[in-house]
Amino acid sequence: MLTQTVESYLAVRRVTGFELKSQGSMLRSFAAFSDAAGKNHVSAEVAIEWAGSAPSLAQRACRLGQVIRFARYIRAEDQRHEIPPVAFGSDNRPRPIPYIFSMDDIRRLVQAASELDRRNAFRGYTYSTFFALLACTGLRVSEAIRLCFQDITADGLVIRCSKFHKSRLVPLHETTQDGLERYLPRRRAYAPLDNHVFVSLRRRPLRPNDTQIAFRNTLEKIGIPRGPNLPRPTIHSLRHSFAVRALETCPDSRDQITKHMLALSTYLGHSSVASTYWYLEATPNLMRNIADSGQEFFYGGRP
C-alpha cells in the first residue's frame, strides 16, 4: 500500500528536522487516491490526475511537486515507482518582497502598542514589550511566545528547540535587557502561576492569532502606508527589518563580510546561510551598496 510508504518517508524526513504538516497531508491524500485507484506504486498518470483536481495552477504545481520529491526518494529502492513530469510548472514560487520598517516606524509601533487597551494597561505593556523584543532580536513570533522565565539568562535568551529542532543563545543589547527587566515584575505579579514570559489577559501564554490581531490593530493606529504595489507589513516584518538593518552595518572586507553573514545566520536560527543572503535583495540601500562595491571592484578598487 502506498499509504504505508508515505508514512515511512515522512518519518525519515521528520527525523532530519522537517515538520511537513501541509506536505504530509497532501502526500497522504495522494496515497489514498492512488490506493483507491488500485496503484501500489507512484503512477505519473494518477499523480497528474490527483494534482489536477486542485482549483488553481499554483496549487496543482505544489501538489505535483510534493509527489515528484516523494517519488525520487522511493524510486531509489524500487524502480517501479514513476517520477511524474512537471506538468503544471515549477512549484518554487519566489519569496515576496518583505516590508522593512524604519526605526521611526518601530518606535511609533511600540508606543501605539502600549496604548492598545485603555481598560487594562497590562495588555498594552505586554504587546509593546513583545513587539520591541521582536524588533531588537529578530526572533520568530513562535520563539518569543514560547519564552519562559528560565530562558532569560545573564548571557542572553535561550531559544529552545525552535524551527528545525535547533536551540541557540541570543545575546541581548543592554537596552533590550533593561526593557525586559522593567516588564518582568509586572508580568510576574499579573500571572504568578504561569512560567511564560508573555501572557494574555486570560493569564495564559499568548496565542499566535492574538499577536496577529494586536499587530494589525497597532498598524492601524500609526497609519503605515498600504497599497497594491507596496509589500504587506506583517508581524514577521519585524524580523525582516532586524536582519536588513544588521546587514546594513556589515563591514567592507571580504573576510569580515563572511564572518558577519555566518554570525547573523546563527543569531537568526537559519538552517542555511543562503536564507540570510536572501536579505541582500530586500532593500534598495543594500542593492545599491552591492552595485557600488561591484563597480569599485570592476574599476580596480579593493576586492
Annotation marks residue 279 as catalytic: yes
Q: Which of 109, 103, 158, 104 is nearest to 131 (CA)?
A: 109
108 is catalytic: no
The CA distances from residue 163 to 11, 221, 243, 253, 270, in Å, are 17, 32, 17, 31, 8
CA distances from 12 to 8, 9, 40, 81, 195 (A): 6, 5, 20, 18, 34
State yes or no: pLDDT of 295 exceeds 70.
no
Catalytic residue among 196, 239, 240, 245: 239
Write down the catalytic residue from 107, 236, 260, 277.
236
Q: Output Rg (C-alpha) for the chain, integer angstroms.
A: 23
Indicate if the alpha-carbon torsion angle 181, 187, 192, 197 is positive or negative.
negative
**pLDDT per position as a tens digit, 109-167:** 999 999 988 889 999 999 999 999 999 999 999 999 999 999 999 999 999 877 767 78
Asked whether residue 279 carries a pLDDT value surpassing 80, the answer given is no
As its CATH architecture, domain 109-222 has: Orthogonal Bundle (1.10)
Predicted confidence at residue 294, as pLDDT, reads 55
Question: 252 - beta bridge partners?
Answer: none
Average pLDDT, the chain: 86
* 204 annotated active-site: no
Closest Cα partner for 112 from 93, 132, 92? Answer: 132
The residues spanned by each domain of the chain are 2-75, 109-222, 237-298
Which pLDDT band holds residue 207 (cuts at 50, 70, 90)? very high
What's the pLDDT score for residue 248? 77
The residue among 93 and 293 whose pLDDT is bigger is: 93
Which one of the listed residues 28, 41, 160, 163 is annotated catalytic? Answer: 163
pLDDT of residue 80: 93
Is 140 among the residues known to form the active site?
yes
Question: Of 60, 63, 123, 140, which is the active-site residue?
Answer: 140
How far apart are alpha carbons 37 and 303 in whole angstroms? 60
pTM of whole model > 0.75? Answer: no
Residue type, 201: L
Copy the grid coordinates of residue 21: 504538516
Distance between the two ends of the chain, CA-based, in angstroms? 58
The answer to whether residue 253 scores a pLDDT higher than 90 is no
pLDDT band at 303 (very low <50, low <70, confident <90, very high): very low
Can you give the pLDDT at residue 111? Answer: 96
